[in-house]
Chain A
Amino acid sequence: MRVLGISGSLRRGSHNTALLRDAGELVEAEGAEFAIYDSWREVPIYDEDLDVETPHPAVARMRAAVRAADAVFFATPEYNSSVPGGLKNTIDWLSRPSLAESALRNKPVAVVGASTGAFGATWAQAELRKVLAAAGARVVDGEVAVGHAMDRFDQNGHLNDENLEGQVREVVRTLLAEIESGLVRPAA
C-alpha cells in the first residue's frame, strides 16, 4: 500500500509538514509506503483554458502521483479561517475538468492539521474534508487538531505529545483499513 502525503504549507519549517512526516513514520510502522509530494508548488493557478488533453507537465505529474497512490494523507494549516489557496488549487486541478475523471475519485483520504493558534486548523480541516468529498474522494473519519504547533514538536520534528501522537496513529490506521476494505470488492 502506498500513501502520498500532501502538506498545505510549503514553508521549510512548516509545522504541518512536520506533522505529515510524523504521520508518514506511523504509516511506515504499519507496513505501508509513504512519500511526501510537494511538487504541487509548480502547478499554475487553475484555468480551464489550460486544462487540455496535455496539461502543464506539473499538473500531469501531480495527477499521476495521486492516481498511483492508494491513499492521500493531508495536513493543512488554516488561512483566513479556511484551506490555503494553494492547496485548494491543487484539489481543483486533481478533480477537474470533470468529476468522472477526478484523480481523487474513490481515493481514500485523511485530513489532519496544525496551527500556531489554539484550535489546530479545525475550520480548515472541516472545509478540506468537504472539498475532498465533493471531489469524489473517500474521506475517512478522524481529526487531529494540533494547536499551539510551535510547542508541539521536539527538536527532531516529532510530536512531543503522546495524546496527539495516538490520535494521528488512529487516523493512519483508519486510512489503511479503508484501503484494505476496498481491496476486496463486493460481488456486483
Chain B
Amino acid sequence: MSITETEALPAGAWAVDKIHSNVGFSVAYMAGTFTGTFSDFDAVVADGALNGSAKVASVQVKDPNLEAHLQSPEFFDAERNPELRFASGSIERDGDRVRINGEITIKGRSEPLQITGSISDPIADQYGGERFGLRLEAVVARDRFGLSWNNPLPSGEPALADEVTITAELQLAKQG
C-alpha cells in the first residue's frame, strides 16, 4: 500500500544534520569499485519536498590529485559548475520504503532521476528535538552529464563504468 506524497515525508521543515549524514558515489573501476564523498552538502525537507545540493569542490577521494582531476573540466568542472543539485517531484512511501522522482543537475545538465530507499519515522532526540532518517540511492549515467572520461583496459573495454551510484544517508532535524 502506498500513501500520497503529501504524507510521504513528515510535515514541517527539516534540515540535514551534516555531521551525522553522508553523501557519496560509487562506480565500477577496473576490477573493483571507486568511491568518493562530498563533505559539503545540504538537504532540506519542507512542505513534503526534498531538495539537496553538494559542492563539487568538497569531493573527497583517497588521493588529492584524483580530487583535483574530478574537479577539472574532464569531470565535474567545478569552476563552471560548482554544485550538484536535486529537487524532488512526486514522492511515494510504502512502509519504510520510499521512492522519489525528481530532477538532478550535474555539470549544468538536468535529467529526471528516480531515487529509492528507506525512511524512518521521526524520533525524539536527546536534545529535545525531533529527527528522522532517509537512506537513498540512485543510479545515473555519467555520460549524459558530460562526464565521459575513460581509460581503456588492454581488452579495449572501458576501465571506468558509465553507471554511477549516488548514495545519501540523511539525518534530518526538525526546524522551528
Contacts and interface: CB of A to CB of B under 8 A. Distances in A.
9 contacts: A98-B65, A99-B64, A99-B69, A105-B68, A133-B72, A136-B72, A137-B73, A182-B79, A185-B80
Interface residues of B, number: 16
A102 B74 contact: no
B142 to A, nearest CB: 16
Nearest to B68: A99
B79 A106 contact: yes
B83 A106 contact: no
B73 A106 contact: yes
Interface of A: 98-100, 102, 105-106, 133-134, 136-139, 181-182, 185-186, 188
A106 B77 CA distance: 8
Given A98-B64, A133-B74, A138-B77, 15 more contacts: A99-B64, A99-B65, A99-B72, A100-B64, A133-B73, A134-B74, A136-B69, A136-B73, A138-B73, A182-B80, A186-B80, A186-B81, A186-B82, A188-B82, A188-B83
Contacts, number: 43
B68 A98 contact: yes
Contacts of A106: 72-73, 79
A72 B67 CA distance: 24
B102 interface: no
Interface in B88-135: 108
A133 B77 CA distance: 11
Interface of B: 64-65, 67-69, 72-74, 77, 79-83, 108, 149
Nearest to A101: B68
Contacts of B81: 186
The DSSP consensus for interface residues of chain B is: loop
Contacts of B108: 186
Contacts of B65: 98-100
Contact of B68 (A136, A139, A185, A188): A136
Given A182-B80, A186-B81, A100 B68 contact: yes
Contacts of A102: 68
Contact of A105 (B67, B72, B149): B72
Contacts of B77: 138
A153 to B, nearest CB: 33
Top 6 A-B pairs, shortest CB-CB distance:
A99-B68, A100-B68, A136-B72, A138-B73, A106-B79, A99-B65
A36 to B, nearest CB: 25
A180 B23 CA distance: 33
Contact of B73 (A99, A139, A185): A139
Nearest to A185: B80
Nearest to B70: A99
B78 to A, nearest CB: 8
A106 B83 CA distance: 16
Contacts of B74: 133-134
Contacts of B149: 133
Contacts of A138: 73, 77
A172 B155 CA distance: 37
